[in-house]
Structure 1
Amino acid sequence: MIRRLIALLIVLWGLGFAVFALTLPRPAGDDVTDAIVVLTGGSGRLDRGLDLLAQHRARRLLVSGTDRTVRKKELAARTGRPLALFDCCVDLGKESVDTRSNATETAKWLEQHRYHSARLITTDWHMPRAHSDLNRALKGSGIAIVPDAIRSQPGFMTLFTEYNKYVLRLVAAPFGY
């Protein structure tokens, strides 16, 4: 009986991994939201967020997980965007160090600004866990989150690692972890 249960869990895990790998989220449309949230760490994320902000697809942008030493002036120079865009409409979140703390930092920022909708930008393989953590952090606040995944070509190990992190978060979250 225990062997069958273990075999069933392995099969379910394998099917879940296949679905995860084959159905990575895609970029969202250009719908307008109150805010844009970019999680640091992957190429194309910040550029996507800044492009949408410059196109007036949101009022403000939060860059969550920014290194404490980074300044708006440096980001403006690195991205080739006007400093005025950063000064008026970009906030640098410097409190988070991982996906779960990104969600906490983002939820606090969205609630402080009383936003009703936000576009979440991260890499496609990272989106399921990031989106899940953010929804959990918002705890039924009614804030609509639009997932906007940056397409990538992740290798097997990236997918394998991220899928296991995602499954572990889903299992641990009801226990407060």
Structure 2
Amino acid sequence: MIRRILAAILLLWALGFAAFVVLLPGPAAPSETDAIIVLTGGENRIDRGIALLKDGHAERMLVSGVNRTVRPAELAAETGEPEDLFECCIDLGQDAVDTRSNGAEAARWMRENRFTSVRLVTTDWHMPRARFELARELDDGVDLITDAVASEPSFTQLFLEYNKYLLRRIGALIGI
């Protein structure tokens, strides 16, 4: 009996992993939101957010999880964008250290600015967990659009991220 239960759990885990890999999200269709939130840590995330901002898809952008030593002028130089874009429209969130704290930092920024719609930008393999964390923190009625940056993750990356996502969902269920 215990072997059957363990086999069923393993089968469910394997099917869930297969679905996770096959159903990686992609970029969102063009639409306007009040804000864009970009999570640091992956290639092309900030570039994607800036392109959306410059194309008029939102009025402000938060880059969450920026190292505390980084200043807007430095990020402007790194991205090749003018400093005035950072001064007018891009905020650096420097309190978050992981995906969970990204969600809290971003939701706080959303409340402070009274935004009611947001486009979340992160890498495709990271989006399920990032969306989960942000959605848990956002106020009711906030419209959340996911806009994933396509990547070519390794099997190891996908394996680790899927398990982090599962553990986080289980943790949330039991109140951790």
Using the size of structure 2 for normalisation, the TM-score is 0.98
Residue 175 of structure 1, CA deviation? 2.2
Q: State the partner residue of 1:76.
A: 76
Q: After TM superposition, which residue ranges in structure 1, 4 or more long, deviate above 3 angstroms? A: none
Aligned residue in 2 for 1:145: 144
The whole-number CA distance in structure 1 between the counterparts of 2:101 and 2:141 is: 20
**Alignment pair present for 1:156 and 2:155:** yes
Q: How far apart in 1 are the matches of 2:7 and 2:134?
A: 32
SS at structure 1 position matched to 2:114: coil
Are 1:171 and 2:173 matched, yes or no? no
Residue 42 of structure 2 aligns with an amino acid whose one-letter code is G
Query: Shift of residue 49 of structure 1?
Result: 0.4
**What percentage of aligned pairs have identical amino acids?**
55
Letter in 1 for 2:17: F
Aligned residues, how many? 176
Query: 1:29, 1:40 → 2: CA distance?
Result: 22
Amino acid at match of 2:116: H
Q: Structure 1: how far apart are the matches of 2:141 and 2:111?
A: 10
| Residue 29 of structure 2: aligned partner | 29
Structure 1 segments unaligned to the other structure (5+ residues): none
Deviation string for 1:64-85 (max 9, x for gaps)? 0000000000111111111111
Q: Which residue of 1 aligns with 2:117?
A: 117
SS, match of residue 121 in structure 1: strand
* Cα distance between partner residues in 2 of 1:107 and 1:118: 10
Counterpart residue identity of residue 140, structure 2 = S
Deviation at 1:176, TM superposition (A): 2.4
Q: Which runs of 5+ in 2 are unaligned?
A: none
Q: Helix, strand or coil for the counterpart of 1:38?
A: strand
1:16 corresponds in structure 2 to 16
Q: Which residue of 1 aligns with 2:67?
A: 67
Please state whether the residue corresponding to 1:162 is helix, strand or coil.
helix
Shift of 1:111: 1.0
2: CA distance, partners of 1:107 / 1:175: 22
How many Å separate the matches in 2 of 1:36 and 1:78?
Answer: 19
**Residue identity opposite 1:50 in structure 2:** I
1:54 equivalent in structure 2: 54
Deviations 1:6-25 (A, max 9, x none): 11000000000000001100
Alpha carbon RMSD of aligned pairs, Å? 0.8
Shift of residue 174 of structure 1? 2.1
